[in-house]
Amino acid sequence: MADAGNSTVTGDPPGSIADLKRLWPWMRPYRGYLIFMLVIATVAMIVQSLVPLITGALIDGPIARHDPAGMLPLIGLALLFGIGEAVLFAVRRRAMTVSALAIETDLRRDFYEHLQRLPISFHDRWPSGQLLSRVTSDLSTLRRFVGFMAVFFFANLAVIVVILLLLVHLDPRLGLAVCVVMAPLVVITRYFEARYNLQARAAQDLTGDLATTVEESVLGIRVIKSFGRRGELLRTFTGDAQRLRSAELDKNRTLAKLWSVIGAYPQVVLAGVTFFGVLAVAHGQLSKGDLVAFIALQLRLNWPLMAMGWLIAGAEETVAATARLFEVMDSTADIDEPAEPVRLTATDRPARLEFADVDFRFRDAAEDVLHGVSLEIQPGETMALVGPTGAGKTVLTSLVSRLHDVTGGAILIDGVPVNRLSLDELRRTVSVAFEDPTLFSASVRENIALGRPDATDAEIAEALDVAQAGFVHDLPYGLLTRVGEQGLSLSGGQRQRLALARAVLGRPRVLVLDDPLSALDVHTEALVEKALRRVLSATTALIVAHRASTVLLADRVALLEDRRITAVGTHTQLLRDNQTYRNLLSQQADARV
């Protein structure tokens, strides 16, 4: 189980009420709706609480006087209160729908936008299931709290205060006694609230772990079936599900105890109220109608108190959900836009790419992955990057488009450091194809034109031709065919060719290819290389190469070993003068055979 974002592993605090205050920027635009909901809900509940006073007035008035006609106005008033309450609740429901869903939508949009800004290093640490649970279930918890629980929490508090005041008004001694004996309930509730907070956070984290397990199992279903590991994965899933079940049961046990106390405590108080109230009536200190009204109000107090248990539990879940949300929102993007971006002057020709004494180290790593890397690639030149496994070739290519930032030195395009360019301009200038091609659950055209949504049909056709991806025309709907999640409906070679087409679309000024032909058969590779030469002649390219055929596409070759560039020359020169280079190509040739 990954530890990122998981308080059950890292020991992160479960959250506090202060976290809820941080939601205010998203609630502020809808504060009118929220205040309106609160007022309407409070008024409706207070109106409902006044009905016992009408009952008391009926008993001490028309009923005591045997005056049926005198009952009609009071009955009509009670009916009016009931209709008013129903109308107010309907209006509140409408306001809740508008505001709560709008707040949830805004939060979800901003959360997703923030995720897109966070660096690759963040996504490497965080399990996708944890992020998924935050953007779905946690945000739904916030919506329920804002749209319902928070409103009724304050409305219930107001009703409890009003009822206690009415009890004191009906009989000061008995009313004050009720206030005093109800005070310990606050302490008891706070105890269960603290426990529930911890348990809610644990359950939410375990939900994220379970989501990660399911996602990995679905995406890796071919591997799982191929190796016959369904049983093992089922055991893993069952273990995660059992841990989540135990956490949810812990929550429910705490909640059951809280509800039991909140439900039973007022009943004990009610028994005392009834006993002493009857004595007061017997001694003429309290009228029968006031006693009935007092008991009815006391009974009316039970529901807000019991509801407070549920609302407190919901508030604690919301506190934990908010803390989990801001764990991600507080993560900072270490790759920022420059304060004053510099624009490249020539945008219609290949660019000059230079690595100037580049160092790179992963966060918390003990040593550099790259150290003192210096390399110049002239406009229109193709440079192959060769090196042993783990030498840092992929890391070096990721620095060009700032998927990671250098920790020392600089990378320059036409003499301008890449961190001085706006990210939009940089990523328009540099196009990348990764060794492990990623496709999205979208059409073939949408996948190819991901970086150039304005690409013309002619440009897409040219890119498909370069990548030898004409197979797309044989798909059921051609370019409009959806390739499925991760493009798994296609073969590895087909996915790689579509990723290559995406990279070469529009003839970028700088092209970075990370072993782009590794999944192709020999015949298709030869065709792709032949077509790719046309693209490479009009761009500046850096190609990670693992085989001689790819190296032959390049004008020069750079050897990366021991964290730095140790040799640069043509393929022929390095074969003649560099033993390491000869050994690498020999090993790769043997491996391919």
Domain identity same for 307 and 366: no
Residues 6 or more apart whose CB falls under 8 angstroms from that of 448 comprise: 455, 460, 463, 464, 479, 498, 501, 502, 505
319-323, 485-489, 537-541: least confidently modelled range? 485-489
Domain identity same for 298 and 381: no
pLDDT of 358 strictly over 70 = yes
The CATH number for 284's domain is 1.20.1560.10
6-20, 49-63, 200-214, 515-529: least confidently modelled range? 6-20
Cα–Cα dist 81/77, whole Å? 6
Q: In 368-403, which positions are buried (b, 16+ CB within 10 angstroms) versus exposed (e)?
A: bbbbebebebeebbbbbbbbeeebbbbbbbbbbbbb
Domain identity same for 311 and 388: no
Domain identity same for 282 and 419: no
% the chain with pLDDT above 70 = 93
Domain identity same for 300 and 374: no
Q: Is residue 5 part of a domain?
A: no
Domain identity same for 226 and 362: no
Helix (H) or strand (E) holding 327: helix 288-329
pLDDT of 75 strictly over 90 = no
Confidence of residue 207 (pLDDT cuts 50, 70, 90): confident
Confidence of residue 400 (pLDDT cuts 50, 70, 90): very high
pLDDT of 56 strictly over 80 = no
Domain identity same for 312 and 199: yes
Tokens standing for 564?
Answer: 């730095």
What local confidence, expressed as pLDDT, does residue 570 receive? 92
What local confidence, expressed as pLDDT, does residue 352 receive? 92
Domain endpoint, select from 279, 296, 329: 329
Cα–Cα dist 67/76, whole Å? 15
Q: Is residue 337 part of a domain?
A: no
What local confidence, expressed as pLDDT, does residue 406 receive? 92
Tokens standing for 215?
Answer: 């996602």
* Parent domain of 233: 14-329
461 against 535, higher pLDDT: 461
Domain identity same for 404 and 443: yes
For 182-208, give the secondary structure using H, E and C. Answer: HCHHHHHHHHHHHHHHHHHHHHHHHHH
Q: Whole-number mean pLDDT of the chain?
A: 81
Q: Is residue 298 part of a domain?
A: yes
Domain identity same for 78 and 150: yes
Q: Is residue 471 part of a domain?
A: yes
**Beta-bridge partner residues of 541:** 382, 511
Phi, psi dihedral angles at 303 (to 5 degrees): -65, -50
pLDDT of 279 strictly over 60 = yes
pLDDT of 451 strictly over 60 = yes
Residue 155: which region, alpha, beta or left (left: phi > 0; alpha: psi -120 to 50)?
alpha
Domain endpoint, select from 294, 329, 364: 329
Domain identity same for 214 and 363: no
Residue 406: which region, alpha, beta or left (left: phi > 0; alpha: psi -120 to 50)?
beta
Helix (H) or strand (E) holding 557: strand 556-561
| pLDDT tens-digit readout, 166-187 | 888 888 888 888 778 777 777 7
Cα–Cα dist 88/231, whole Å? 55
% the chain with pLDDT above 90 = 12
Q: Is residue 6 part of a domain?
A: no
Q: What's the total number of domains in the chain? A: 2
Range 218-241 average pLDDT: 74
Domain identity same for 400 and 493: yes
Q: Is residue 3 part of a domain?
A: no
The CATH number for 445's domain is 3.40.50.300
Range 23-43 average pLDDT: 83
Most confident residue range from 77-81, 321-325, 439-443, 540-544: 540-544
Tokens standing for 387?
Answer: 């090196």
Domain identity same for 363 and 229: no
What local confidence, expressed as pLDDT, does residue 593 receive? 40
Q: Is residue 185 part of a domain?
A: yes
> Please, are residues 410 and 326 in contact by the beta-carbon 8 Å criterion?
no
Q: Is residue 323 part of a domain?
A: yes
Confidence of residue 222 (pLDDT cuts 50, 70, 90): low
Strands 510-514 and 430-433: parallel
Choose among 565, 593, 591: nearest CA to 578. Answer: 565
